[in-house]
Amino acid sequence: MSSRIYLAIDTIDLDHAKALATRVKTHIGGLKLGLEFFCANGHHGVHEMAKIGLPLFLDLKLHDIPNTVAKAVQALRPLEPAVLTVHASGGRAMLEDAKAAASDHTKVVAVTVLTSLDTDDLSAIGINGDPEAQVSRLGALAHEAGLDGIVCSGHEVKAAHKAWRDGFFVVPGVRPAGANVADQKRIVTPAQAVSDGASILVIGRPISKAEDPLEAVRAIEATL
């Protein structure tokens, strides 16, 4: 199979994004275009990145009333993303409408608990229990709503995969051993995430901020 590594393109600089993606494209499986990139470059930027020839993961984390999210997903259809994110906490009707509005060629996956949040953060927004319990609850909701999978940290993917054998599991917040964790709180190594059931790994700064991005992605690949 192609590489499970999706490079996170979280920059407003389109030229830099294209240069970085082109440099490592033979060693990654796709490109994750985040909110920062999309707000700066819009549909034009996505079309430009598509020319590199890799699957695109449009990580917009849509979250609104069902009708609004459905219309937003329809507006994104011409971009033909391979993967598109919505927030699981938007509720079942929103998830169902998002999936119904998407192209058959797009996997719609639900974001469960951001990797920047821990138990204290969840408590502060009124959610009792640890991230694992919340991921389990929202993962079940996404499954029932007919989505393709979920986004969760490597800490929860093993249990999520056990509960949803044919689900598609996106694991962000992945850091090679010894790497700077930055603003992530629930991280695992790439090898551990794959072993536990990750379908794709979203990796950004350990590659994009490396002195030699190609060498960095090769080193990560070697651990897999």
Identify the CATH number of the domain in which residue 113 sits: 3.20.20.70
User: Which residues have C-beta within 8 Å of that of residue 36, sequence separation ≥ 6?
Assistant: 10, 11, 12
Q: Which residues pair with 169 in a beta bridge?
A: 150
Q: Which domain holds residue 112?
A: 5-223
Spatial CA neighbour of 16 closest among 43, 35, 41, 42: 41
The pLDDT of residue 164 is: 97
The number of distinct structural domains making up the chain is 1
Confidence of residue 180 (pLDDT cuts 50, 70, 90): low
Residue percentage of the chain with pLDDT more than 70: 95
The pLDDT of residue 182 is: 52
Specify the DSSP element, H or E, that contains 59.
strand 56-62
pLDDT digits (tens, 9 = 90+) for 118-170: 899 999 999 988 899 999 999 999 999 999 999 999 989 999 999 999 999 99
In order of 88, 118, 132, 172, 220, the CA distances from 127 in angstroms are 14, 11, 12, 22, 35
pLDDT digits (tens, 9 = 90+) for 48-71: 999 999 999 999 999 999 999 999
Spatial distance between the Cα atoms of 111 and 154, rounded to a whole number of angstroms:
13
pLDDT at 95 over 90: yes
Q: Which two tokens stand for residue 43?
A: 């549909």
pLDDT digits (tens, 9 = 90+) for 122-134: 999 999 888 999 9
Catalytic residues, by residue number, are: 61
The pLDDT of residue 188 is: 84
The pLDDT of residue 2 is: 81
H helices, E strands: number in the chain: 10, 8
- Which pTM does this prediction carry? 0.92
The pLDDT of residue 116 is: 86
Q: What are phi and psi of 217, to 5 degrees?
A: -70, -35
pLDDT at 185 over 90: no
